[in-house]
Amino acid sequence: MREKTVADVLAPAELGPVRLRNRVLKAATYEKRARRGLVTDELIDFHVRHAAGGVGMTTVAYCAVSPEGRTDGHQIVWRDEAVPGLRRLTEAVHAEGAAISAQVGHAGPVADSTKTKLPALGPSPSLSLQSLRRVRAATSGDIDRVVQAHGDAAKMAVATGFDAVEVHLGHNYLASSFLSPKLNKRKDSYGGSLANRARLALRIMRAVRDAVGGRIAILAKLNMDDGVPGGFWLDEAIEVARWLEADGTVDAVEMTAGSSLLNPMYLFKGDAPVREFASVMREPVRTGVKLVGSRFLREYPYQDGYLLDDARQVRAAVDLPMVLLGGVTNRQVMDTAMQEGFQFVAMGRALLREPDLINRIAADPATRSLCNHNNRCMVTIFTGSRCVLVPETQPPTDSR
Ligand SMILES: Cc1cc2nc3c(=O)[nH]c(=O)nc-3n(C[C@H](O)[C@H](O)[C@H](O)COP(=O)(O)O)c2cc1C
Ligand code: SF4
């Protein structure tokens, strides 16, 4: 049964087997601070800043389970060479009193094959609009390999001192693209019915649970709505959340939305930085973004707690601990989340803007976030993610 009393978001809490100093998670915001797939001092500094700023747990963004699943050539891939750096990273965060989670996944059709030099994988063949390269349909051998790779990555997360793994089941990355009726046209046991489209996600979660047992916490970041006509939608997401609960493979679910492939702004809401986005693209993509970018990067009105209406419906359907994400920026939204039965909140942009926001909210609950949702930080994922309004967090010198 879910807790009946309303939790204090800033008091310690259990997430699976892990005790956190509070219920605030730093959401994964791709840092672009790894180099040749390895941890750098800049990546450690980034997370130490967030840990020192008061979050209960910080999340190392997207680390790929296999080389073709990267969105960037320098991205961390789980492998032996990465172990010493990952250990330094977890130790540095622990020294600040915070826990640390690793986001693991396979980018599938969102992978950038111009950077990985490997064909991207999807449920069905397609052309990637971002890389203008072919996306190959995953064979059953690919699927088995990717499932196994998630388990291996999770084992490595345990060995390197992480407190949790967050498995990426959203944004039309590989598992999410299989869930999507729009992207998944397969005729085998991975396509068609929801049970078939969800098979990859459920197998991945099973592999992760089998790999880590109860040693660290397991979260799943699952889409509720791709924001695309004919895409994965809330009623199906509720069913998948129920299956995850029945399988016992997750300690908490974090509901998200949108498609990095087809409708990226849907997951952020707020301004669409079309001009800034075009300026960091190579030709011919740059011209394409200038011409039709506003159709790809669409503006949606922002409001605090903008995923709450949908997430509340998932909340009503499962007893699993849940993380509320999307426009959590102040104590009021956090308290609403707790009142609505969410056990944790996750924050992305507000913490990029002010990494010490949680300490400041703890000192003064009336503290308001300075993030204005202009979303220009989205564009900095190509050079070193940061809030463009914060001059002291300039990009790492060797980020290209
Ligand atoms: C610069 C930036 C990079 C992001 N990178 C990732 C990522 O690597 N993985 C992911 O799941 N979400 C990523 N996100 C999405 C955030 O985790 C979060 O879902 C989104 O920002 C909404 O939360 P917010 O309103 O608190 O910012 C990123 C967001 C931003 C702004
Ligand atoms: S650039 Fe800064 S102010 Fe703008 S959305 Fe990102 S974090 Fe917020």
Distance (angstroms) between ligand 1 centre and the Cα of 4 equals: 30
> What pLDDT was estimated at residue 141?
98
Q: Which residue has the higher pLDDT, 382 or 252?
A: 252
Residue 92 within any structural domain of the chain = yes
Distance (angstroms) between ligand 1 centre and the Cα of 46 equals: 15
Query: Could you tell me if the CB of 353 is within 6 A of ligand 2?
Result: yes
Ligand nearest the Cα atom of residue 371: 2
pLDDT digits (tens, 9 = 90+) for 316-326: 999 999 999 99
Q: What does the DSSP 8-state code read for residue 232? A: -
Distance (angstroms) between ligand 1 centre and the Cα of 189 equals: 32
Residue 341 within any structural domain of the chain = yes
Residue 319 within any structural domain of the chain = yes
Mean pLDDT over each residue of the chain, to the nearest integer: 94
pLDDT at 308 over 70: yes
Q: Looking at the 3D structure of the chain, how many domains does it have?
A: 1
Residue 244 within any structural domain of the chain = yes
Residue 286 within any structural domain of the chain = no
Residues within a 6 A CB radius of ligand 1:
27-30, 61-62, 103, 168, 221, 256, 267-268, 325-328, 347-350, 377-378, 381, 385
> What pLDDT was estimated at residue 251?
98
Residue 287 within any structural domain of the chain = no
Q: Letter for the amino acid at 64? A: A
CB distance 361 to 331 below 8 Å? yes
Give the range of the structural domain holding residue 48, as residue numbers without chain letter: 13-269+296-382
pLDDT digits (tens, 9 = 90+) for 22-46: 999 999 999 999 999 999 999 999 9
Q: Letter for the amino acid at 274? A: V
Residue 129: closest CA among 331, 367, 292: 292
Half-sphere exposure of 309 (CA within 13 A, CB side): 4
CB distance 222 to 256 below 8 Å? yes
- Rounded to the nearest 10°, the torsion over CA 60, 61, 65, 71 is -150
pLDDT digits (tens, 9 = 90+) for 335-359: 999 999 999 999 999 999 999 999 9
> What pLDDT was estimated at residue 395?
55
pLDDT digits (tens, 9 = 90+) for 40-94: 999 999 999 999 999 999 999 999 999 999 999 999 999 999 999 999 999 999 9
Mutate to test the pocket of ligand 2, among 267, 268, 369, 389 (most ligand atoms within 8 A of CB): 389
pLDDT digits (tens, 9 = 90+) for 3-17: 568 999 999 999 999
Question: Distance between CA atoms of 201 and 241, rounded to whole angstroms?
Answer: 11
Residue 233 within any structural domain of the chain = yes
CATH assignment of the domain containing 224: 3.20.20.70
Query: Could you tell me if the CB of 126 is within 6 A of ligand 2?
Result: no
Residue 353 within any structural domain of the chain = yes
Ligand nearest the Cα atom of residue 382: 1
Question: Distance between CA atoms of 380 and 386, rounded to whole angstroms?
Answer: 6
